[in-house]
Chains A and B, each alone.
Chain A
Amino acid sequence: NAGVTQTPKFQVLKTGQSMTLQCAQDMNHNSMYWYRQDPGMGLRLIYYSASEGTTDKGEVPNGYNVSRLNKREFSLRLESAAPSQTSVYFCASSEGLAYTDTQYFGPGTRLTVL
């Protein structure tokens, strides 16, 4: 039982390049999330998926797209990377959106955009 896994762990991009961050969970959770964490700031929600087949914008969705590929997988795509997207990205999952549903976080992806 690996929990929430993310790939890659590190990535360096040039401005304008595209890439997809992958996330998978093996806990049969319904809900999944993408956050970014910048220095001196808490996590900010980019997008989330309440259940398979649905996605919603979070606090900072601009410049990103997501795909809930199936119940296990939730990917985050940067179509044209910008230096402002340099950050650590966390994926999380939970049973559902109820407040009692603990969010389990992946180890993060450190992305640098030059």
Chain B
Amino acid sequence: AQTVTQSQPEMSVQEAETVTLSCTYDTSESDYYLFWYKQPPSRQMILVIRQEAYKQQNATENRFSVNFQKAAKSFSLKISDSQLGDAAMYFCAYRRLGGGSNYKLTFGKGTLLTVNP
């Protein structure tokens, strides 16, 4: 079974600085997808960034980028120029290929990010 581990329950960063959130996963599959979701105090889940395992190039979305290390099964999220609005719980998620009854999205336990002014 796939598992997703986020080893940092809490992180803090100064406004305008850079922070990296860690995520590791365990799978025996060779192709899959990885995601980072943000959950602010409003509790809405918001997709931040996604990565296809077959792509070697790391995904980027504005101030958010990932460091995907397939062999190490590591998928970290880097937030540059941190803003107060980045404060939230961040979840790493794994999804295997396929749909229908094969659909499965596994989440880590989350990392609570605090941004200090």
Query: Is A78 an interface residue, CB under 8 A from the partner?
Result: no
Interface segment, one of A12-20, A40-48, A69-77: A40-48
Q: Nearest B residue to A3 by beta-carbon distance?
A: B44
User: Which residues of A are interface residues toward B (Cβ below 8 A)?
Assistant: 40-45, 48, 50, 56, 58-59, 88, 90, 92, 96-100, 102-103, 105-108
Query: B86: shortest Cβ distance to chain A, in Å?
Result: 18
Task: Report the bound CA distance from A103 to B50 in whole Å.
Answer: 12
Top 3 nearest A-B pairs by Cβ distance?
A42-B107, A97-B99, A105-B45
Which parts of B25-50 form the interface with A (CB within 8 Å)?
A: 33, 42-47, 50
Subset of 29 A-B contacts with CB under 8 Å? A40-B109, A41-B107, A41-B109, A42-B91, A42-B93, A43-B45, A43-B107, A44-B107, A45-B104, A48-B103, A50-B100, A56-B103, A58-B104, A59-B106, A88-B43, A90-B45, A96-B99, A97-B99, A97-B100, A97-B103, A100-B50, A102-B47, A103-B45, A103-B47, A105-B44, A105-B45, A105-B46, A106-B44, A107-B44
Q: How far is the CA of A58 from the CA of B61 in the complex (A)?
A: 30
* Alpha-carbon distance between A42 and B103 when the two chains are bound, in angstroms: 17
State which residues 1-21 of B face A: CB under 8 Å.
4, 9
Number of B residues contacting the other chain (C-beta, 8 Å)? 26
Residue on B with the closest CB to A90?
Answer: B45
CB distance from A50 to the nearest CB of B (A): 6
Residues of A with C-beta under 8 A to B62: none
Contact in complex: B107, A107 (CB < 8 Å): no
Contacts A40-B9, A42-B110, A90-B43 supplied; 14 other A-B pairs, CB < 8 Å: A41-B110, A42-B4, A42-B108, A44-B107, A50-B99, A50-B103, A97-B103, A99-B50, A99-B95, A103-B45, A103-B47, A105-B44, A105-B46, A106-B44
Alpha-carbon separation in the docked complex, A50 to B100 (Å): 6
Asked if B56 is at the interface (CB within 8 A of a chain A CB), the reply is: no
Contact pick for B99, options A88, A92, A98, A105, CB 8 Å:
A98
Q: How far is the CB of B81 from chain A (nearest CB, A)?
A: 24
